[in-house]
Amino acid sequence: MQRIKFIDRMAQGKISRREMLKSAGAFGVGMAVLPRVARAQGGPLVCLEWGGYDAAEYIEPYVQKHGGLPDFSIFSGEEEALAKVRAGFAADVMHPCNYSVGRFVNAGLTTEIDTSKLSNWPDVFPSLQTAEGVVLGGKVVMAPADWGNSSIAYRSDLIDPAFAENPTWEIFFDDAYAGKVSMLDNELVIQIGAMVGGMSYDEAYDLSGEALAAAAKEWGTKGVNTSRFLWTDPSEVQQAMASGEVIAAYAWNDLVKNLKAEGIAVEYAKPKEGLFTWFCGLTLLNTGKADPALAYDFIDAWLSPETGKYLIESSGYGHANRKSFEIANPADVEAMGITDPEALMASAILFRTPPDEVQVEQNRVWGDIKALKM
């Protein structure tokens, strides 16, 4: 979407998942070695996918069954993918997220998923099976696959101990930390500021009109000017954290995993206002030409515990299949800071999408605020 958060927009669609996951070695291998497989009946399976997820490691059961990879078309943001399909691109499967799948459903581009055709569905966390975005209008429109968090990564060796004892999003609006923190380049800054001011996320996520203008003036301006820089590239903020240029940053799970692997003292906070969570998955499109059985095999492969194990160990992100946590390297699970996935998902704040007109307004206001950065 142009909206909250392409995992917070994966930095607003300006990077690929390949960069974000920091697993480049694993990513090119499957793609270079394995052939794409065409099917006589209906043609090849065509998948709209994030860059970096177009690798055999994520769909091994599919590769083993069909002898190769499907055809991938890579996108950097859901709005780009939506525009492509609307323009006539014939794709069979799409990898949206909970906050964006509704855009495809509302455009009449999706097909209901028959979960009885997915052998791994019974092992999907119950809370994800019924989550908003998985189910819309009483129909399953997305099979949840990968999920993660958005919170505050901080240098435990450099931060004030008081923050470590009582983490808060207020650090991004505190003059004492001016030039020492880095926030995502996203209108979410305004929403989080409003939450620091006492507003609930349910109120903050769709701020508009005078309320949005007031929050932007008070919190957006402060958040922009407190940040050393507003980041769009995860590698940039990771390097800044590693060097100590910034000591706290808005971050996803992978940054913490990567820095810990470098031996850097970094922790992932659970702010008193709450940490955010998101999940993405696979959706059937009605524009494709392949045998639907291929699409179900692809989705089921993504839901397999083996895929989840690889995702956890390579990126530090969670997986929808509960069994993946049982077979993944315990050290990697521990490094995620997640001992009870169900409890975490229940307690975290799930990103939501405001109506289109509100999102457009928030984007505009955020752009105006950024332009005033000192």
Report all structural domains of the chain as residue ranges with CATH numbers, in order of start: 9-147+278-350 (3.40.190.10), 149-276+354-370 (3.40.190.10)
pLDDT value for 13: 38
Q: Is the pLDDT of residue 169 over 70?
A: yes
In 3-state terms the chain splits into helix, strand, coil percentages (rounded to 5) of 45, 20, 35
- Quickly list DSSP for 108-133: T-EE---GGG-TTGGGB-HHHHTSBT
Q: Is the pLDDT of residue 38 over 50?
A: no
Q: What is the pTM of this model?
A: 0.75
Distance CA 265, CA 126 (A): 35
Contact 304, 118 (CB under 8 A): no
Distance CA 355, CA 24 (A): 36
pLDDT value for 338: 66
pLDDT value for 373: 73
Q: Is the pLDDT of residue 36 over 60?
A: no
**Total residues belonging to the chain:** 374
Nearest to 363 by CA among 150, 189, 221: 189
Q: Can you read off the two tokens belonging to residue 246? A: 């910034």
Q: What are phi and psi of 260, to 5 degrees?
A: -60, -40
Q: Is the pLDDT of residue 33 over 50?
A: no
Q: Is the pLDDT of residue 349 over 50?
A: yes
4 — pLDDT class (breaks 50, 70, 90): very low
- Give the tens place of pLDDT for each residue, 287-345: 999 999 999 999 999 999 999 999 999 888 899 999 999 999 998 888 776 667 778 77
CB under 8 A, 24+ apart: contacts of 254-260: 254/20, 254/21, 254/22, 254/148, 254/315, 254/316, 254/317, 255/153, 256/153, 256/316, 256/335, 256/337, 257/315, 257/316, 257/332, 257/335, 257/336, 258/22, 258/316, 259/153, 260/335
The per-residue pLDDT of the chain, averaged, comes to 87
How many percent of the chain have pLDDT more than 70? 87
- Give the tens place of pLDDT for each residue, 134-165: 999 999 999 999 998 899 999 999 999 999 99
Number of other residues whose CB lies within 10 A of the CB of residue 150: 23
Give residues with Cβ within 8 angstroms of 174, minimum separation 6: 226
Q: Can you read off the two tokens belonging to residue 271? A: 């702010």
Q: Is the pLDDT of residue 99 over 50?
A: yes
pLDDT value for 41: 60
- Give the tens place of pLDDT for each residue, 108-137: 999 999 999 999 999 999 989 998 899 999
Rounded to 5°, the CA angle 360-96-234 comes to 75
Q: Which amino acid is at 78?
A: E
Instruction: Tell me the range of 47-51, 73-77, 120-124 where mean pLDDT is highest.
Output: 120-124
pLDDT value for 225: 96
8 — pLDDT class (breaks 50, 70, 90): very low
